[in-house]
Amino acid sequence: MKRFYLAHERAILGAIGVVLFLMLWEGFERGWWAELLQPPLGPQAARFQLKPIFISSPTRIARMAFDMFFITGAIWKDIGWSSLEFALGIALAFAIGIPLGLAAGWYRRLNYAVEPFLAALNATPQVAFLPLLILWVGTGLASRVMIIVLLAVLPIAISALAAVRTVDARLVRVARSFSAGDALLFRSIILPSAVPFLLAGARLAVGRGMIGIVVGEIYGSSAGIGAMISQAGSRFETDKVFVGVLTIATAGVALVELIRRIERRVDVWRPQVAA
């Protein structure tokens, strides 16, 4: 018994914490604690029961999630829209960020030129540009994609830049002395050694993109998970809000895990150049 506990201490303690938390939550909504505290506290105990619009409860959320995913299927349309925005935004961020970062890493002068802009953009909470983007292109798909690009492009560009900077100088020198051109050098040395950096940047970009989905949809958007969350919030449908939040969290975790897997894969086939 004891050995079993020690072997699985992490899982057991974690599960106990989560279960206690969920029960505490459920109890607030169902009035378990109000009933329990009735004898010592008297009428004051009613304070320990909270309205469902205020905190919802795990079982309500589970029921709502089941409804939205499998019975009415209402959430799939929102997921579809948000995924489209996310995919377009992240793809554009890669298309802009990788060439920019690689070029700025390779050409010193170009780096000097773009440095002030990257630093300024990095220090700004990029979401502050949202009203401007809306003024330019309206509240449609375009502004939502653009805010995702704006949020996600920096980690990608910065990691691409760092990747070029840390390429083994010996490799470059060897290639040069065998008179390899820039194109060959780039294809056979820089790009392969940049891959792990780019994947790390992609992991950050995914998180940023998730923020972009939500933030981009808070203004006048009619479809998408972020819009669903904010509409549910303004109607006090707390359980629906939680379903949306959990959906985004799950998607984020799944994507990051996917990138981690690819990272591990890449590390295996990559020749151990540095060693």
Partner 1 sequence: MNFERLLIGGGTLVVFLLVWELCADSDAINPLFISSPSRIVHAGSALMTDPDFWNDVRVSANEFIFGYIAAIVIGVPLGLLMGTSRRLSYIFAPFVDTLNAVPRVTLLPLLIIWFGIGIWSKVAVVFLGAVIPIVISALSGVKTNEARFLTMARSFSASRTRIFASIILPGTVPYIFTGLKYAAGRALLGVVVGELYASTAGLGHMIADAGNMFQTDTLFFGVLIFTATGLVVVALLDRLERRFERWRPNVGAAT
User: What does the DSSP assignment read for the chain?
Assistant: -HHHHHHTHHHHHHHHHHHHHHHHHHHHHHTHHHHHTHHHHGGGGGGG---HHHH--HHHHHHHHHIIIIIS-HHHHHHHHHHHHHHHHHHHHHHHHHHHHHHHHH-HHHHHHHHHHHHHHHHS-GGGGHHHHHHHH-SSHHHHHHHHHHHHHHHHHHHHHHHHHTS-HHHHHHHHHTT--HHHHIIIIIHHHHHHHHHHHHHHHHHHHHHHHHHHTTTT--SSHHHHHHHHHHTT-HHHHHHHHHHHHHHHHHHHHHHHHHHHHHHHHS-----
Residue 107 beta carbon to partner 1: minimum distance, rounded to whole angstroms = 11
Nearer to partner 1, 197 or 219 (CB): 219
> Which one among 31, 192, 196, 252 touches partner 1, defined by CB under 8 A?
252
Residue 178: CB minimum distance to partner 1, A? 29
Nearest distance from residue 110's CB to partner 1, in Å? 9
Map the footprint of partner 1 across residues 2-21, applying CB under 8 A. Answer: 9-10, 13-14, 16-18, 21
Applying the rule CB under 8 A, the residues between 171 and 200 that interact with partner 1 are none
Q: Does 226 bind partner 1 (CB under 8 A)?
A: yes
Q: Of the candidates 36, 87, 174, 249, which one interacts with partner 1 according to CB under 8 A?
A: 249
Residue 106 or residue 180: which is nearer to partner 1 going by CB? 106
Give the shortest CB-184-to-partner 1 separation in angstroms: 28
- Which chain residues interact with partner 1 by CB under 8 A? 9-10, 13-14, 16-18, 21, 53-54, 109, 112-117, 119-120, 122-125, 127-132, 134-136, 207, 210-211, 214-215, 218-219, 226, 229-230, 232-234, 236, 238, 241-242, 244-246, 248-249, 252-253, 256
